[in-house]
Amino acid sequence: MTTAEQTTYVALNGLQCRSRKMNAAILDYIVRAKGASPVELTQDEFSKRIEEGDTVEIANRQEDPNVRTVRVVRDGRVVALITYGRVGGGWLLESYEACADF
């Protein structure tokens, strides 16, 4: 008889975390908007947390063209959701939610 190890993930606000621990922040400051895409900004701003093999992509194209959410997928699980708002010709980081292991 063989058994397969099952891993249970906890769904937290659209994340698929290994535990109930998560990090979140809502940013309330004005800095200079950056002209790169939200995906490029995520890859730059979270470079120490993104691992080789992670997928960084737009999670949805909301009806509001001034808001974009980027997701980081690791081993088939969504481990981070990062939201940007358009300001002028660039994007500002507005908030993020991430599993503790991100």
Q: What is the dihedral of CA 62, 30, 50, 9, to 10 degrees?
A: -60
Residue 41 neighbours by CB under 8 Å, 6+ apart: 34, 70, 84, 91, 93
The answer to whether the pTM exceeds 0.85 is: no
Which of the four pLDDT bands, split at 50, 70 and 90, describes residue 2? very low
Mean pLDDT of 59-71: 85
The continuous run of DSSP H or E covering 92 comes out as strand 90-99
